[in-house]
Structure 1
Amino acid sequence: MGTTMAEEARIDVKTLFQKAAGDLSAPELYELARIAESGPWFGMPVARSTEQVRRPNFEWPLVSEHPYLGKYGKGTAAVYLGNGHERLVRPMIFADGFNYGPSNLDDLWQWFNAPYSEAGEQLFDQLLAAGIDIVLLGFDTRHDYVQVNAGVVRACLAKVIAERQGNAKLITGGVSMGGLITRYALAAMEADGDNHDTETYLSWDSPHNGAWVPLILQQMAHFFEIFEAANPLKASKAALLRSPAAQQLLYAWVEDSRYSGPVATASPLRTQFVEELTALGGFPSQPVKLGVANGRGDGRGLGHTPGEIVFEKKFLGGLAGSATARFQPAFGTQRPIGGMHLGLTVRTSTTSAVAPFDGAPGGTLDSFGQVAGTLGIELEEAKRWGCFVPTISAVGLTFDPLTWPVELDKDLRGLKPEDTALNEFCCDTANSEHSAVTPTLAEWVLRKIAK
């Protein structure tokens, strides 16, 4: 499932105009309003636990001293002291990931401390019992530039080093985009000659070479926004997709529902981010670099049939509109991926030379499920989920992150050291939900850092 440098991954959109908006009846307009619920779509999952959240021992407000494009990032660190500790002794900084708006550190705690085994084992509790102090790091604006929030990481590192009792080296990393933010911060500190005192870097299903949101669903987010009631207190469906973070994160991106053209690294923000990170050395050189992937490492994907229709919905028998989405086809030229019709406009979309990302091995996101749920479509469970962070991205496989000349279903067992930027990594035994704590991943992390 690889692309070549000569092929250009692109999308082409055809637009037709038919029924005028004024011809829609009151029931049709009501149907449009009903489906136009506010987003944003495609954020990280949230905790489902109803257990009482453990309160942190300390909370620190943080302000970056390293602006990016004139912006100073802000955030909060929640400190949970290891068993028997009265101060920080063995700190682990763990940064929040990709989503819209401010971090919710209670949710982050619950997500990573939910029981992951039949015996009821809980990862964060196990780390605390091993004497590791957990510093959960959140950001006031998760969807901002990676570089802006990397300044918050640097402020957190300085605070932790100042508050630490003794000289135990730090563990620094994060989940999802949090792994990218900490990776950038550590590399920038090394370039500046600043001490991060980090011995171990840990990323959890982080998109080191990019992430994927289906192009047809990106288009739908923009398209169906048209009918949302303006609400300054709520973000719209495509708000996260428009954000600097999404543009830096996503391998393929479209700016609106009308866009035709190249999609691989379509946003200049991604190109700029990759170039800046490369100039810093790509990864920090001083720590041991560990990573876990929620995807399988043997090349076995989700089993989706490329080009298959995922859902097809007609509103009021097709009078008010329709929406069709397919799993991403495998390469080819002008292969249909779906379309949408609502009121005045009908759009159909095709892609060329785009790999079948939806079924690739990797951490999954209920991207199709989120869209279908908003549109009132019932989907079978398997079709709700698609690949979000390909395994080859989460393990930092060595290839050009801008062009992806690589096989999505590559068997990663027995990789040579030079094939990945990480010193060690662990893949899950199944393609599990992005950022989920599973027995395989939790036990590996515990063996590596809870010594």
Structure 2
Amino acid sequence: MADSKTEKIRQAARTFGLVTPMSEGAAAQAPGADEVWELPGGSARVYYGEGQKGVVRPVVLADGFNLGPSDFDRLWSQLENGRFPFIGELRRRGRTLILVGFDERSESILRNAETVMAAILRTSAEQLDDTRLLAGGFSMGGIVTRYALAKMEQRRMDHRVGVYLSVDSPHRGAWVPIGLQAFAHYTAVVDDTYLRQISSPASQQMLWRYLSDMKGTPQESPLRAEFLDELRKVGSWPQIPLLLGVSSGRGDGVGNGVRAGAKTLSCAGPAFDGTYFLAQAQGDAAETAVLNGVLGGPHTISTSGFPELDGAPGGTLESFGIIGDALTGAGESADLVHRSVCFVPSVSAVAVRDLDQQEYLYVNIDQLPPEESELSDFLLSQDNDPHALMTEDIGRWILDRLPD
């Protein structure tokens, strides 16, 4: 392999990613926090409500998944500078916002839950009034907080949380196309950034199916099985708070338009000539990718017994868009057909069905009895929006359900 090609591949691989921002627009610097709390395994930024001089009527929200430490500027921007100014509206109502971040967002959910537990206890200790807390998080942050609250109740700790909230959190699992997981293994010989994301503890705990080796069989990760067992040990859900959840996906069973078996991304060289990816289809030996080029191949990647996950109703990620842009930027001739596919199916975000059957994945949630969900109440989006995007519908729905 020529050194120049190797370096181009390495440069591209450094920009591959598993997740995209939770909102639209570039990150802007957040205003200075009123308080900064150092916590075990992380920290928190505290923003008082308008007219307040301390922690009053607090809302505690945990960050989502990525590699490395939480970026509070980006988290702020995603919540304030997208489609709806959620933070401004929250503070205008006199609510204190506590944003909880992690030293390593890809660390085990079980470990990062200790950070959230510490943040909740600190909030209660600093609070000037007696309003019960709202505590939750975005994407992985909602799962971390779910486990943290359930564990606190098991330990008979008074968390004082009246409302739990998850924003497009994968309660039944998240989805990253198996072809892309294989591609992470394929390119790891030149740069392992993408593989480190996908194979991190938090990723394996959240993904519905995980590919441990390029030639392996996608299956539930042992780390996910262990996490689900630990979650069951603490009762699965906290029992005291009202359980709220929102989905970035539709509730009527209508998918995002990505047709099963269709090409999503293909390459014509010079480094990855013959590499292409297909949207997840049903059936046995369903081809999802062929990996080829200067790193070897062709390697055919297939699945058996999977439903049509890429096109399912749910919050979307630019799973193929990130890869396609990186390849194009490195001089690859790439044809990007579908930038985004489903990441957190609607049924997962509102905890109504598993992801293993086509009829479950595409069920019309709007027509199901409310008691089929494990949540007390939930909201589904008007469209299959970007994952955890703070829209006006979602923002106002949350604001209307804050603890009194």
Larger radius of gyration: 1
User: Does the CA-based 8 Å contact 1:36-1:225 persist in structure 2?
Assistant: no
Within 1, Cα distance between the matches of 2:72 and 2:195? 24
Per-residue CA deviation, residues 341-392 of structure 1 (Å, 9 max, x unaligned), is 1334321112110111100000000001111122225555x71000000000
User: 2:35: which partner in 1?
Assistant: 58
Q: Which structure carries more relative contact order (alpha carbon 8 Å, separation 6+)?
A: 1
Unaligned stretches of 5+ residues in structure 2 = none
User: Does the CA-based 8 Å contact 1:127-1:450 persist in structure 2?
Assistant: no
User: 2:4: which partner in 1?
Assistant: 30
1:250 is the counterpart of 2:207 = yes
Matched residue SS, 2:142: helix
- Tell me how far 1:257 sits from its aligned partner: 1.6
- Tell me how far 1:51 sits from its aligned partner: 4.6
Of 166, 185, 190, the residue aligned with 2:148 is: 185
- Tell me how far 1:115 sits from its aligned partner: 4.4
Within 2, Cα distance between the matches of 1:321 and 1:167? 63
Within 1, Cα distance between the matches of 2:20 and 2:28? 20
Within 2, Cα distance between the matches of 1:171 and 1:336? 44
Matched residue SS, 1:289: strand
User: Does the CA-based 8 Å contact 2:133-2:162 persist in structure 1?
Assistant: yes
User: 1:443: which partner in 2?
Assistant: 396
User: 1:13: which partner in 2?
Assistant: none
User: 2:195: which partner in 1?
Assistant: 238
User: 1:315: which partner in 2?
Assistant: 269
User: Does the CA-based 8 Å contact 1:43-1:240 persist in structure 2?
Assistant: no
Of 261, 267, 279, the residue aligned with 2:233 is: 279
User: 1:342: which partner in 2?
Assistant: 293
Q: Residue type matched to 1:383 in 2?
A: H
Q: Residue type matched to 1:392 in 2?
A: V
Per residue, is there more strand in 1 or in 2? 1
- Tell me how far 1:276 sits from its aligned partner: 1.3
User: 2:51: which partner in 1?
Assistant: 84
**Cα 1:225–1:128 shift into 2, 3 Å:** same
1:220 is the counterpart of 2:194 = no
**Cα 1:404–1:284 shift into 2, 3 Å:** farther
Q: What is the TM-score normalised by the length of structure 1?
A: 0.84
- Tell me how far 1:314 sits from its aligned partner: 2.3
CA RMSD after TM alignment: 1.9
- Tell me how far 1:282 sits from its aligned partner: 1.2
Matched residue SS, 2:290: strand
Matched residue SS, 1:161: helix
Query: What does 1:131-210 correspond to in 2, within 5 Å?
Result: 131-210=94-173
User: Does the CA-based 8 Å contact 2:58-2:96 persist in structure 1?
Assistant: yes
- Tell me how far 1:46 sits from its aligned partner: 6.1
1:370 is the counterpart of 2:322 = yes
Q: Residue type matched to 2:318 in 1?
A: D
- Tell me how far 1:400 sits from its aligned partner: 5.4
- Tell me how far 1:131 sits from its aligned partner: 1.2
User: 2:343: which partner in 1?
Assistant: 388
User: Does the CA-based 8 Å contact 1:44-1:98 persist in structure 2?
Assistant: no
- Tell me how far 1:98 sits from its aligned partner: 1.0
Per-residue CA deviation, residues 110-151 of structure 1 (Å, 9 max, x unaligned), is 1001142xxxx5111000001111000000011011000001
User: 1:42: which partner in 2?
Assistant: 18
User: 1:302: which partner in 2?
Assistant: 256
Within 2, Cα distance between the matches of 1:154 and 1:275? 20
- Tell me how far 1:406 sits from its aligned partner: 5.6
**Cα 1:366–1:33 shift into 2, 3 Å:** same
Q: Residue type matched to 2:199 in 1?
A: R
User: Does the CA-based 8 Å contact 2:266-2:277 persist in structure 1?
Assistant: yes
1:264 is the counterpart of 2:235 = no
**Cα 1:365–1:400 shift into 2, 3 Å:** closer
- Tell me how far 1:166 sits from its aligned partner: 2.1
**Cα 1:173–1:406 shift into 2, 3 Å:** farther
Q: Residue type matched to 1:336 in 2?
A: E
Within 1, Cα distance between the matches of 2:158 and 2:397? 28
Q: What is the TM-score normalised by the length of structure 2?
A: 0.93
- Tell me how far 1:288 sits from its aligned partner: 0.4
Of 58, 62, 65, the residue aligned with 1:95 is: 62
User: 1:325: which partner in 2?
Assistant: 277
User: Does the CA-based 8 Å contact 1:35-1:374 persist in structure 2?
Assistant: no
**Cα 1:405–1:76 shift into 2, 3 Å:** same
**Cα 1:436–1:210 shift into 2, 3 Å:** same
User: 2:247: which partner in 1?
Assistant: 293
User: How many aligned residue pairs are there?
Assistant: 396
User: 2:77: which partner in 1?
Assistant: 110
